[in-house]
Amino acid sequence: MGLFTYMRDRLTGGIVKLNDRMKLLGALVGHAFTYATVVHEAKHARDRESGRLTPEKQIAGEIAAFRVQHDWLALMDPSGERMLTLWGALKLRRDRAVDPDAKAAYAEAVVYLEHLSDVRSTGGDEDKLKKLVHKLGYADGHDHHDHDGHDHGRAAALPPARNERDRHFRYVSA
Ligand SMILES: [Zn+2]
């Protein structure tokens, strides 16, 4: 859903991008929840500018970004009740939707909230965050890494890009 792209040879100029599907997702789950993805990518951008984020320390970078994401969720929904209520309502709409496009959109929103719930349930704990990052398929030192939280582990199997984009490092997360 979110993506942070940067160059190996310089600290500035990294770019945060959000998937176009975020527009619809934001309308379904509310922008307060989709900001969780924005703060995650923003943390990567900040860490890169300060020199903390490197391809060799991708796992540490993800742990830091997921921790900030957790903190945002804990701040905007302290009891987790908003997320739970929304998840239940969207699941109901998904199951009742007749139009396939609407059904797919609700299904995506449900999966997105489940991913946020995984982040939330770490409680910001270092070991739990580390387990989550591994579960999502991140690894240190990969030149090209693409991850979508909707397809756990898929990214780890992606072959490295063989063009000028080899010089980019991409971080994608739900
Ligand atoms: Zn990330």
Task: For residue range 159-168, list pLDDT tens digits in order.
Answer: 333 333 333 4
CB-CB contact of 41 with 2 (8 Å): yes
Number of neighbours of residue 4 by Cβ within 10 angstroms: 24
Compute the distance between CA of residue 151 and CA of residue 39 in angstroms, rounded to an integer.
Answer: 21
> What rounded mean pLDDT belongs to the chain?
84
Place of tokens 């599907």: 21
pLDDT by residue for the chain (174 residues), tens only, comes to 888 989 888 898 888 988 888 889 999 999 999 999 999 999 999 999 999 999 889 899 999 999 999 999 999 999 999 999 999 999 999 999 999 999 999 999 999 999 999 999 999 999 999 999 999 888 887 544 444 333 333 333 333 333 333 334 555 544
Distance in Å, CA 78 to ligand 1 centroid: 23
Sign, CA dihedral 45-47-50-51, equals negative
Place of tokens 């299904």: 107
Distance in Å, CA 95 to ligand 1 centroid: 31
- This prediction's pTM: 0.81
C-alpha distances out from residue 5 to 45, 48, 57, 109, Å: 9, 10, 15, 25
Distance in Å, CA 40 to ligand 1 centroid: 6
Compute the residue count for the chain: 174
Enclosing H/E stretch for 16: strand 15-18
| Cβ-based neighbours of 104, under 8 Å, separated by 6 or more | none
Compute the distance between CA of residue 54 and CA of residue 56 in angstroms, rounded to an integer.
Answer: 5
Q: Residue 72, Cα to own-chain centre: how many angstroms?
A: 13
Q: What is the per-residue pLDDT for 170?
A: 59
| Tokens describing residue 104 | 């797919």
Distance in Å, CA 25 to ligand 1 centroid: 19
